[in-house]
Structure 1
Amino acid sequence: MLGEKTPPEILQSEVFCRSRKFSFDINRYRLPHGAIAQMGCIRHPGGALAVPVTQDGQLILVRQYRFAAEQALLEFPAGTVEVHEPPEATIRRELEEEAGYRGHQWRSLGEFYVAPGYSDEIIYAFLATALEKLDNPPPQDDDEDIQAVLMTPTALENAILQGQVVDAKTISSFFLARPFLT
């Protein structure tokens, strides 16, 4: 069973750097076999993502510039979970802000780590249906310039397989949602 090994003992923990949405910790551990290791970890509050499906079966994605990737990526709407905020509230807000839609039916698709080798970030994925296009959506965050894009599930799958969609949370969530798409 996953996760049943004895965890390492934390000998020292230091917040090396803190930013608006995450921190970078450097920790010294004693591993179960006795070796001492120093490892860094990005501590992140988690994110919530929607796989929004229109009445006619199209998926709503967003195109936005990602500074770390130095390019615009095509992704499902998503956002960082705020302190004391349930992921369900995060994604309802983000779908309205980023895509201009309100979801009236929601289904959890599960949760997963984005990059457990160096981050504790978990994505909470949801299927959003019974969508309402908003006449006056809330404004995007100041650091966002996002455009909504409609795609069929087949077109998205082809874009993934051709390397045109490279965002891991979008790819993972698409395949989690696939059984519910027509």
Structure 2
Amino acid sequence: MKKFEELTITTTPIYDGKVIKLQVDDVTLPDGKIAKREIVKHPGAVAIIAITEEGKLVLVEQYRKALERSIIEIPAGKIEAGEEPIVTARRELEEETGYGAKHFTYLQSFATSPGFADEIIHLFVAKDLYQLEQKAALDEDEFVELLEITLEEAQQMVAEERIYDAKTAFAVLWLALQNR
């Protein structure tokens, strides 16, 4: 048994969407009491810390409906069924930025919101970028603007909350640690 494990008694599916599934689990707590857990099931995602030859970070600005605002993020995207994370990383970098990369390095994976979701993001660093001759198409409901900025500019954007998501803040912190 895992420390503080909650054993599932029943699972009730609530919603099955394009990106997520929602379920409510009845669980037995470590003290024997029963509780409900609302859980978002997600197929996982990748995120890419893309660094240009000049040492700039490649970012995209896009509108995030859940926040009702635009934010600046590292390129990222959902893993398709049966797809390896590195394949997703290559595809998403090309689609969102118009860049390919000669070298991808897996950095680490982490949970985004473990209190209610099972989404795991697999983080890669992309170097030796090259401009694609023909830019890959974005998803039909995706609108992004490309930015290439210095680490100092990225740190300022975190302070200004223009960079507002955890994966991108993590990327900026990682870059800062690499450059000290």
Same fold (TM over 0.5): yes
Task: Find runs of 4+ consecutive structure 1 residues off by over 4 angstroms.
Answer: none
Pair 1:88–1:178, CA change in 2 (3 A) = farther
For residues 92-150 of structure 1, the C-alpha deviation after alignment (integer angstroms, 9 at most, x for no partner) is 00000000000111111201111111101011011100000112111111000111111
- Report how far residue 32 of structure 1 moved: 1.3
- Counterpart-to-counterpart distance in 1, 2:35 and 2:155: 41
Unaligned runs of 5+ in 2: none
- Report how far residue 21 of structure 1 moved: 1.1
2:100 partner amino acid: R
- Counterpart-to-counterpart distance in 2, 1:43 and 1:120: 6
- Report how far residue 178 of structure 1 moved: 3.6
- Counterpart-to-counterpart distance in 2, 1:50 and 1:152: 16
Q: TM-score, normalised by structure 2?
A: 0.95
Q: TM-score, normalised by structure 1?
A: 0.94
- Counterpart-to-counterpart distance in 1, 2:158 and 2:33: 41
Q: Does 1:121 align with 2:119?
A: yes
- Counterpart-to-counterpart distance in 2, 1:26 and 1:110: 29
Equivalent residue for 1:38, pick from 32, 36, 41:
36
Query: Who is 2:70 aligned against?
Result: 72
SS at match of 1:111: strand
State which drifts further: 160-169 or 80-89.
Answer: 160-169
Equivalent pair of 1:103/1:130 in contact (CA under 8 Å): yes
SS at match of 1:38: strand
1:35 partner amino acid: K
Q: Write the mapping of 1:151-166 to structure 2, written as runs, cut at 5 A.
A: 151-166=149-164
Q: Does 1:130 align with 2:159?
A: no
Q: CA RMSD in A?
A: 1.5
Q: Does 1:88 align with 2:86?
A: yes
Equivalent pair of 1:127/1:177 in contact (CA under 8 Å): no
Q: Does 1:26 align with 2:24?
A: yes
Unaligned runs of 5+ in 1: none
Aligned-pair identity in percent equals 31
- Counterpart-to-counterpart distance in 2, 1:70 and 1:104: 36
